[in-house]
Amino acid sequence: MATKNKLQYVWLDGNEPMQTMRCKTRVEADFSGDLQDCPLWSFDGSSTGQAEGGSSDCLLKPIMIVPDPLRKNGYIVLTEVLNADGTPHSTNARATIDDEDQDFWFGFEQEYFLMDVDTEKPLGFAADGSMPPPQGQYYCSVGARNAFGREIIEEHLDACLDAGLNVEGINAEVAPGQWEFQTFAKGAKEAGDQIWMARFLLERISEAYGVYIEYHPKPLAGDWNGSGMHANFSNSFLRDSGKREDYEKVCEAFRPYVKEHIAVYGHDNHLRLTGKHETQSIDQFSFGISDRGASIRIPIATVERGWKGWLEDRRPNSAADPYKVAARIVKTVKPASV
């Protein structure tokens, strides 16, 4: 009897200000498991904000496949959205990345909040509106009074690893119910793929717990940290440099393009980039060694390796599209890498 395989196609819709993920499943008999054997598929773009009803077909182009750790005989197929004529859809930011040689490496630090669907408050906040103790005890914490939702993030980590995603770590963050996972990939497109796949698994797992994932960069007003998606990046120029002046040249290349970067670093970033809570102000630019209050941090590890390493752009927020972030960083850094 032929094995029935479930191929769950995932794509990004036309939602604003943050695209959300959509998915649907097709059943294939005796599927090989290879990306090249995933057929092109279509969907109703008029129901996802990507087409008009009179001409609603959009295409799904498979670009990554992993085993589905949440389903028997399953695979998750990440796709790009194309117009009916095969050209990239306007919502397809992946197609705008200029990094075909995969010279750029990215490590994204994805922060997020676990929110109770009934109270619409982060886990760790009482339903009656009373405040938990101020932040300080929650970062990298353990214990039932400090870490909330650990069973979810542990299941998520296992699922990512079982799927073969390159998740390099997790930790509790500064506010109650706030967590982080980190991914790494060689190639800007692949780096975005890793984040979106990991986000998809996080969303799927949270369904079973009555929890939703909040990516807004500042869901809690007051003296609480916001959520970022810090972008650690390098190219061969930075990895092989050995010169402080090279790093300063690359950092200075960002200064004239503050507005262009902020435009793709996630909505409502002005609420997070205030100069407080380990951020630089949104209208200023700075860089410095080990400076978490700077726009771009030069990691101490880079200095200790003789100025051979990477940089961290701390401005992208948790709701940013990693494809757009990577594309903009590549565009800024390439001309300075000479």
**pLDDT by residue, tens only, the chain of 338 residues:** 789 999 999 999 999 999 999 999 999 999 999 999 999 999 999 999 999 988 899 999 999 999 999 999 999 999 999 999 999 999 999 999 988 889 999 999 999 999 999 999 999 999 888 899 999 999 999 999 999 999 999 999 999 999 999 999 999 999 999 999 999 999 999 999 999 999 999 999 999 999 999 999 999 999 999 999 999 999 999 999 999 999 999 999 999 999 999 999 999 999 999 999 889 999 999 999 999 999 999 999 999 999 999 999 999 999 999 999 999 999 999 999 99
pLDDT score at 138: 98
Same domain, 115 and 50: no
**Among residues 67, 92, 117, which one ends one of the domains?**
92
* CATH number of the CATH domain containing 45: 3.10.20.70
Closest CA to 116 of 220, 211, 204, 207: 211
In a domain, 97, yes or no: no
What Å distances lie between residue 262 and 197, 218, 294, CA to CA?
24, 16, 14
**Among residues 45, 70, 92, which one ends one of the domains?**
92
Supply 109's token pair: 């630090």
**Among residues 37, 64, 92, which one ends one of the domains?**
92
pLDDT score at 64: 98
Same domain, 187 and 109: yes
The pTM of the full predicted model, rounded to 2 decimals, is 0.97
Same domain, 198 and 68: no
In a domain, 213, yes or no: yes
Q: Provide the domain limits for residue 247.
A: 105-336
Spell out the long-range contacts of 240-246 with Cβ–Cβ below 8 A and sequence spacing 24 or more. 240/308, 241/307, 241/308, 242/306, 242/307, 242/308, 243/307, 244/307, 246/307
Same domain, 80 and 31: yes
Cα angle: 8, vertex 9, 12; to 5 degrees:
135
Same domain, 254 and 275: yes
Closest CA to 74 of 213, 200, 207: 200
Half-sphere exposure of 321 (CA within 13 A, CB side): 25
pLDDT score at 100: 84
pLDDT score at 119: 94
Q: Which residues contact 154 (CB under 8 A, 6 or more apart)?
A: none
At position 303, the amino acid (one-letter code) is V
Same domain, 84 and 125: no
Half-sphere exposure of 123 (CA within 13 A, CB side): 27
- 3 state SS of 249: helix
pLDDT score at 2: 85
The CA-to-CA distance between both ends of the chain, in Å, stands at 59
Same domain, 161 and 185: yes
Query: Of all helices (H) and strands (E), which one includes residue 105?
Result: strand 105-116
Same domain, 260 and 146: yes
